[in-house]
Chains A and B, each alone.
Chain A
Amino acid sequence: MNSASASLKDALLGLIPNLRAFAVSLCGDIERADDLVQETLLKAWNHLDSFEEGTNLRAWLFTILRNTYFSECRRRRREVEDRDGSKAADLSVHPEQPGHLDMQDFRRALDVLPLDQREALVLVGAAGFSYEEAAKISGCAVGTIKSRVNRARSKLTDVLSVNAPHEYGPDAATEAIVARTVGGAR
């Protein structure tokens, strides 16, 4: 028997689009994302009584979603992170339009970031959570979130600089390549 208030249930409904956006950023396609949101909603509904009204519902839902996703990944023994960055290294070679900063390039760059970095970057840079909130959602220290965000931004900067040498200048492009080959980015 679910005694949670009607307004809480309305709030839940209102947060579905946000959850979908977060889910897509984690798993990469909208269909899997919606399945993930479905599972999240079921769990949330069944645990609504344990949610303390007045606290951060959005953060609570995001936590359920990412925990569900991460444990599903482990269950499927899927490669969760591109740890050696080899996918990211290939990325900069084929921009859609050389010399033009392209949204497609950015999306692709985002998709090949290691999962924990992409999660941190999206929580802080897109979903608007504070570092502290993001740390709670991800179950790690604030310092860990900060370092993941820095690494993510650093990798994206490299990719964007190499893809758009005319916009950013040859210095940046050269530096990005040097940084990658001399063992800066991993």
Chain B
Amino acid sequence: MSQLNQGLTLFLSLLVEATPFLLLGVAFSSLLAVLVDERKLIAYTPKNPVLAAISGSLFGCLFPVCECGNVPVARRLLMQGAPSALAIGFLLAAPTVNPIVFWATWVAFRDQPAMVFWRVGLTILISVTIACVFSVQKDMRPFLQPAIARYLPNPDPKPEPALVGSGSSLLSGGDFLLQSTGTLKLDQPMMATLGATTALPQQSWHDKAQAVLEMMLQEFRELGAVLVFGSAIAATVQVAIPREWILALGQGPITSILAMMLLAWVVSICSTVDSFFALSFSSLFTSGSILAFLVFGPMIDLKNISLLLTTFKGRAVMYLFVLAAQLTFVLTLAVNSYTSW
């Protein structure tokens, strides 16, 4: 009976501590989805792959989204012609490298402030590395689902104007839409097409607020349910599994990292609240393994694989998964082996 009470108190405390951060996360991601125009942002970002990867992985500071919000944003970035390094860097780092997650991790690991810096540092390192690897692939289209790839520009260095004014350019092939202002070529990049069309109907502030609230509710409903499952698993593991087993697993420098990475992958808890989940294991597991949980979980987990597959083909998701897993494992093992932290 005491164990049941202990488990329930643990479960409720995780929920009560995590709910404010979850709300903050869904509020920001909804605001951004409705209010921010990524096209303007892309225009200001560097084209060099390494710089694009770095700026992409820091984009999260502007778009504080968790790993459910980042896939739609990364998809919009790709469709609007962002360099692949920027989109991949954003995809992997944004759920961790953002002010809300920074704050939540700080709150959870007040005893070990170094955790926050390790977490952010390793995430940026891994994201930039993977983004650079992906940038070698100049044409991203074979990696993307056909529905998305259609919108992507051809990396061929002969750009064509969207609006065809003179007669000679009519010689180029493709689908065209005849408009009063000129001819619009339909198979152009989304950005160019959208830029050329007349402005979209302006929404009133009331409509926008309504849309933000609607989206917040939608995300809260779903992520709240995932949070409930995650908290239940954390509480059960702590209470029901014998301490000796967990200690045996959690004190080995390699087994602890593998166990926490597997847990991160299965539990799929939202990155704004995962530090509270990890906190409940921090007295039993090595610091490196807690770090592995906090770095790997937001990049790839069971939940966002289904989201990633809406944008990327299976092969590309596999590459992302394998690279992220290997880098996390090697780097956190180094933390376990070479630092006294």
Q: Do A and B come from one complex?
A: no
Residues of chain B having any CB pair with chain A under 8 Å: none
Residues of chain A having any CB pair with chain B under 8 Å: none
